[in-house]
Chains A and B, each alone.
Chain A
Amino acid sequence: MVSEKIIVKNKSGLHLRPAGVFVKYASNCKSDIKVVFGEKKLEAKSILNIMAAGIKCGTEIEIVCTGETEEADLVTMINAIESGLGE
């Protein structure tokens, strides 16, 4: 299991569009990916789960990857968030 903390910079947080991009990236990864947000542990491959959490701009989240390709998948996810999730 590997993990890294990152701050969400998208203006309106993880709204439908950036959340959709986020989930697409996650879905292409083989690892099991969770998003730790406060007390909650979210399924990174679920658009509804991510959107319903209402993650706002400036919030710190932790990406946790578990699986054979966990190292590479974590890099993929962190890069995706850093590049603004298509925004």
Chain B
Amino acid sequence: MEKIHIKKTSSDGIAIGQAMVVQIQEYSPEKYPITKDDIKQEETKFYEAMDKAQAEIAILAENSDIFEGHSMMVTDVMLRDTVLQIIQDEIVNVQIAVNKAYMEYMVMFEAMEDEYLRERGADIKDVRNRIIRILQKREEVNLSNLANEVIVVAKDLSPSDTATMDLDHVLGFITEEGGVTSHVCIMAKSIGIPALVGVSGIMKQVVNKDTIAMDAGKGIIVINPDEATLEEYRNLERLYKLSRIELEKSEKLEAITLDGREIKIFGNAGNIEDIDNANKHNVSGIGLFRSEFLYMENKNFPTEEEQFDIYKEAAQKCTGEITIRTLDIGGDKELPYYRFDQEENPYLGWRAIRISLDLVDVFKAQLKAILRASAFGHIRIMYPMIISIEELEQANTILSECKEELREKGCKFDEEIEVGMMIETPASVLLVEEFAQLVDFFSIGTNDLTQYLLAVDRGNNKISHMYNSFHPAVIKAIKKIIDAAHSNQVSVGMCGEFAGDETATKLLLGLGLDEFSMSVGQTGKIKKLICNTSYQDAEKLAHKVLTCKKTSEIELLVLEESR
């Protein structure tokens, strides 16, 4: 029995089964000599091999974009000419020429700065391998018909290797090379097969038909486990399957308390993929759509058109309402195209709405893009970091101008679009009654609110233990916000980490929170908690908590309740 630990993991799940060691066939070119008279013949061989490769790839390309790219690489004129040139100039056989031409390009791509282009190097390698294999008149190693369920162990697996693989019989993947963003990892994750990659030395340690038990989440591989270990892993597997089923069931629940109060459980999203993920997990709305990625991954301030495309896609993909937060960026984050001055206190500096109100053109481009996208779904606009009525009024004035300009142009948008603000500064808490008369909704940003209320920098290791959202000052602030909102018919959500904290759920419910927005992975657990709680009980807990003077008392109360 041998146990291997891997630090970097990216998938989940337990697999127990027989190893199938796949010797990945990296074909080396054969070195037979040729003379000038053979050149024509080598060229013919090359053309025939290209045709065959093209035919093989065409079948694979029916189900995969990756192979469309491969197809273009096979037919690439530059590459073709380079190969023919090498055969003629160096009088070498076609295999050596193909190898040389493709390797040149591969090296070039692998040295690129852009990660995406770098990965294309692997595609070129894959195509090279295919052509050399065809030239050597060998058949593709066929994994499309596996007799037994196996754990596939290989040096690395290319898209060509996995495309034809009989995945129904694959229990798990272990590869010696590759990172957590490698092809095999991404594919395994998307179809829910446990995978561990970058396991150095695994090819030497495992032989065919060894028994393997693996825990992909923890990064553990046991080779030829003894009976006790095997039993342990069988149990883990059962538990894992049960917890998956349980979680999926929870995600399908409607979040309604035992006494019938309906709560919105939404997801936070930082890009379009997050919305796809939310849909997959039955999350019916996005309580916080961070727009920062549009700015940070761009080469210049994103134009209205660029933003419109993204917001429109987001609105169309989101099954319910989506709250888009306007640019929330500060001196601690850099934009590649804009120089921020060095600030001594970036958290108290030029950030979020302050930037938007100064760079009016940038703000207007974003607001117009959001407005136009509102014709395609249920969008709400949210301003971050507001501290004064003046700021809110100024932002709304600019929003009105944007609406007017769009009307003049005849652009459609949601005339009734809801506008709200984050409550994350002490000033906005103290003025919350006044703000409540001016907005349609609030969203409490507990991360910043806790930090600003307690004057604790959570990134500072010496004091980070003092950062605690159960501090009575934070709880009282949340209570004040919700009360002010409800007496003005304003709804209140929360989009900080506190909203996804299972120990806080009952308390927040009791305080009257309408919407919890959190990372999508948390939603199942929180929905289940809401369904098992009565609002009346939760109110009682909230009442008790509000009489507490110390953080420790509050923590004790909520812990007792969540037991």
User: What residues make up the interface of B, taking CB atoms closer than 8 Å to A?
Assistant: 68-69, 72-73, 76-79, 105, 108-109, 112, 114, 116-117, 120, 124, 299-300, 306
Contacts and interface: CB of A to CB of B under 8 A. Distances in A.
Interface in A5-28: 11, 15-16, 20, 23, 27
18 contacts: A11-B306, A15-B117, A16-B120, A27-B77, A45-B77, A45-B78, A46-B78, A46-B79, A48-B124, A49-B78, A51-B109, A51-B117, A52-B105, A52-B109, A52-B117, A54-B112, A56-B299, A58-B299
Contacts of B76: 46-49
B69 A16 contact: yes
Contacts of A15: 116-117
Contacts of A48: 73, 76, 78-79, 105, 124
B77 A46 contact: yes
A23 B306 contact: no
A1 interface: no
A11 B294 CA distance: 11
Given A16-B116, A52-B112, 5 more contacts: A43-B77, A46-B77, A47-B72, A47-B73, A48-B76
Residue among A43, A47, A48, A52 facing the most chain B CB atoms (10 A cut-off): A48
A57 interface: yes
A34 to B, nearest CB: 12
Interface residues of A, number: 18
Interface in A44-87: 45-49, 51-52, 54, 56-58
Contacts of A45: 77-78
A60 to B, nearest CB: 15
A30 to B, nearest CB: 14
A46 B75 CA distance: 9
A52 B77 contact: no
- For the complex of A and B, list the 8 residue pairs with the smallest distance between their C-beta atoms, beginning with the closest: A46-B78, A47-B72, A45-B77, A49-B78, A43-B78, A46-B76, A46-B77, A48-B76
Contacts of B124: 48
Nearest to B309: A11
Nearest to B116: A15
Nearest to A42: B78
Given A11-B306, A23-B72, A54 B114 contact: yes
B204 to A, nearest CB: 35
Contact of B69 (A20, A56, A57, A58): A20
Given A15-B116, A52-B108, A57 B299 contact: yes
A51 B120 contact: yes
Contacts of A46: 76-79
Nearest to A43: B78
A4 to B, nearest CB: 22
A87 B69 CA distance: 17
Contacts of A20: 68-69, 72
A49 B72 CA distance: 12
A48 B117 CA distance: 10
Nearest to A58: B299
Nearest to A15: B116
Contacts of A23: 72
A56 B78 CA distance: 21
Contacts of B79: 46, 48
Contacts of A27: 77
Contacts of B300: 58
Contacts of A49: 76, 78
A47 B116 CA distance: 15
Contacts of A51: 109, 117, 120
A15 B299 CA distance: 15
Residue among B68, B72, B73, B108 facing the most chain A CB atoms (10 A cut-off): B72
